[in-house]
Structure 1
């Protein structure tokens, strides 16, 4: 059965004209009632609080790409260029944890998020976006790190079905979203398959999220949009158009989780494109008539 199509309430608006080189890592904090996001290549963590319009930023000495709140401790679990770390925005304390691929010197980490059991899933990629040297990792609360899959030039996602039994993952350079059968109990995957192959001209699937109806929302690098899809058929149900082409990630937030926050990038735009797209690299928001899912926290 195909899910009902959601409805957007108005169009997307810019809430932070940050001109991020590579905006990513959108995460709504229930604890802070704020939206965390990053500029990977600008090496900055951002936090936007809608109730007060506050904008805060933290600089890093290297790329920061993805994050999750910690369930029982203050602060965040983050991916830096080479691996995992804890970071507390309140104190500035950074604790490095694990680097899973020291032999892959041309790689960096990219997208990631927690599953409902509090395990953090993160993908690495070739920093030049060419060689298929990226992998998908699962980082558990006890510090174990497992390489789950391999062979991606640029990895993005993941997100899950509502029952946690399907993991979706974007193989961005190949313009496809993969699906795996997932075991929520032990975090294993099997039966990798192509869930949707995006056509030439649609852009490339980047970050994504799942809403409370089980629909997938996918940001399109080069496509100037976020699309909403049925979880079973992958049929497109709705589209949010944006005023810049490189759309990188999305997450539901706000008091009722009905605001879709959307990040973007300025990298790879020509001077003419930059002039034509003054909101490139901005953080956007659009209201949706149904809620998303609260972000899971890291159990460690």
Structure 2
């Protein structure tokens, strides 16, 4: 049975015309009632507070790609080009933890988030977006890091999980493919890789994604100026959000009722002519939806 199509209750709004080179890393903080996001290539962490329109930023000495709040301590778990680290936005303290790919200087971390058990899953990729060197790692509260999938993808994105927690979805962005895996929540193991969805030619590349409270997947389209919503089993498209810039990169539900979809974008790889035609490239957007997303799980450590 196909999931019900959601209703979009507003046109996309521009929240922060930041001009990010590569906006990514969306995370709604229930604790702060704010949205964290990053500019990977601009090496900056942002925090946006919708109730007051307050905007904060923190510069880094290297690329920062994904964030998760910590359950048992203040601050965040972040992925940097050099691996996992803790970062406290209040004090500015940075504690580097583990670099699983120190032997691959041409790689960097990209997208990532926590599973329902509070383990962080982060994918790596080739900095030049061409070599098939990406993998998927799991990092837990004991600071143990394990390579879960030697993907051989040039660019990894996601992951997200099905509503019942039994399926993990992971993007092979450059090849326009989204893969599904069986997911064992207790052990944190994945198996049975299969192709779940392939984007049509001309429909861009699957970038960041999230799962809402009805189990539907919302996927950002790099190069196609939109976010699409899909049935979690069949992959059938149920809705589409059009954006005024082509490189749409990541999505997360937030707001007091989790009915606001926050959307990041990028200026990276756009020509001067394209940038002139897309003045909002690199902005943070939002759109209201009739049904909620799910609160992000904090890192258990």
What SS does the aligned partner of 1:190 have? strand
Residue number in structure 1 paired with 2:66? 66
What SS does the aligned partner of 1:272 have? helix
**Within 2, Cα distance between the matches of 1:133 and 1:290?**
38
**Within 1, Cα distance between the matches of 2:203 and 2:143?**
39
Query: Post-superposition shift, 1:162?
Result: 1.0
Residue number in structure 2 paired with 1:289? 290
Q: Is structure 2 residue 245 aligned with structure 1 residue 244?
A: yes
Residue number in structure 2 paired with 1:104? 104
Residue number in structure 1 paired with 2:209? 208
Residue number in structure 1 paired with 2:221? 220
Residue number in structure 2 paired with 1:90? 90
Q: How does 1:93-242 map to 2 (within 5 A)?
A: 93-150=93-150, 151-242=152-243
Query: Post-superposition shift, 1:163?
Result: 1.2
Describe the superposition over 1:91-146 as per-residue Cα deviations: whole angstroms up to 9, x where unpaired. Answer: 00000000001111100000000000000000000000000001000001101111
Aligned Cα root-mean-square deviation (Å):
0.4
Query: Post-superposition shift, 1:216?
Result: 0.1
**Within 1, Cα distance between the matches of 2:155 and 2:269?**
15
Residue number in structure 2 paired with 1:46? 46
**Within 2, Cα distance between the matches of 1:288 and 1:87?**
32
What SS does the aligned partner of 2:175 have? coil
Q: How does 1:4-83 map to 2 (within 5 A)?
A: 4-83=4-83
**Within 1, Cα distance between the matches of 2:39 and 2:48?**
13
**Within 2, Cα distance between the matches of 1:47 and 1:193?**
36
Query: Post-superposition shift, 1:21?
Result: 0.2
Query: Post-superposition shift, 1:72?
Result: 1.2
**Within 1, Cα distance between the matches of 2:208 and 2:144?**
25
What SS does the aligned partner of 2:174 have? coil
Describe the superposition over 1:231-267 as per-residue Cα deviations: whole angstroms up to 9, x where unpaired. Answer: 0000000000000000000000000000000000001
What SS does the aligned partner of 1:26 have? strand
What SS does the aligned partner of 1:274 have? helix
**Within 2, Cα distance between the matches of 1:30 and 1:152?**
33
Query: Post-superposition shift, 1:152?
Result: 1.1
Task: List structure 1 runs of 4+ shifted beyond 4 angstroms.
Answer: none
**Within 2, Cα distance between the matches of 1:10 and 1:257?**
15
Structure 2 gaps of 5+ residues are none
* TM-score of the pair, normalised by structure 1: 1.00
Query: Post-superposition shift, 1:26?
Result: 0.3
Query: Post-superposition shift, 1:44?
Result: 0.2
**Within 2, Cα distance between the matches of 1:47 and 1:185?**
33
Describe the superposition over 1:27-50 as per-residue Cα deviations: whole angstroms up to 9, x where unpaired. Answer: 000000000000000000000000
* TM-score of the pair, normalised by structure 2: 0.99
